[in-house]
Structure formats: C-alpha cells, structure tokens
Structure 1
C-alpha cells in the first residue's frame, strides 16, 4: 500500500491512463481489421488517411512503438495498392 498522498494520486492517474490507452489501442485494432477486410479500393483509399492519422497519434503518445506504426502504415499502403 502506498504511504504518501502523491503515490495514491499517481496510482489513480496510472489506472486512468491505462484504461484510456487500452481503449485507443483497441479502437485502432478494430479500424485496422475493418480496412484490411475492405475489398473496394475507393472505400479503402478514403479510409486510409484516417487510419494513418490514428496510428501516428498513438505512436506520438507512445501507446504503440514508432517502428510498429511505420510497419502498419507500410503494409496497409501495399495492401491498398494491390486491390
């Protein structure tokens, strides 16, 4: 158990951040699943900038690693180009 008031506050903040990060990460995974299952090239191309900005935002906030973000964007662009 924490002995200081600041430690108790930190525990609360960490839990709130953990829940927020988990929600954002799960949202990104759902959007990735949606764009990967897309078979219409036009629809995938219109969804692509939204997905890329979401990935970049998560990488900037260290929710996902920067290299993982680059790999995801690269694979998505290849897949959309192949449609």
Structure 2
C-alpha cells in the first residue's frame, strides 16, 4: 500500500482515468462494429465521421496508438466507399 499522500492520490486518479479510457475505447469498438455491420451506404456515410472523430480522440489521449487509429480510419473509409 502507498504511504505518501501524493502516491495515494496518484493511485486514485489513475484508476479513474483507466475507467474512463476503458469506457471510451469500448464505446469506439462498438461503434466500429456497428459501422461494419451496416449494409446501406447512406447509413455508413453518416456513421463514418462520428467513428473517425472517436478514433482521433482516443489517439490524441494516447488510449490507442496513432498508427492504429490511422489504420482503422483507412480500413473503414475503404469499407464505406466499397459499399454499393
């Protein structure tokens, strides 16, 4: 167990940040799955900017790596453009 006030506070804040990061990452993964499940191009085109924004936000906060975000955005854009 931590002995210093600052280390106790650090444990609390990092736990809170971890929960927030997990929530946001899971929400983004669910949005990606929802986008991949869409068959209509119009629905996918409206979802794509929202998902890209979520990925950019996660990469900015270092929850996911920036290259992973970039790869996901590229694959999703190709997917949406390939829909009939």
TM-score of the superposed pair, with normalisation by structure 1: 0.98
Report 1:34-53 matches (<5 A). Answer: 34-53=34-53
Q: Provide the alpha-carbon RMSD of the alignment.
A: 0.4
Structure 2: segments with no counterpart, 5+ residues: none
Moved over 4 A (4+): none
- Unpaired runs of 5+ in structure 1? none
* Residue correspondences, number: 83
Deviation digits for residues 3-59 of structure 1 (CA, Å, limit 9, x no counterpart)? 101100000001000000000000000000000000000100011111101100110
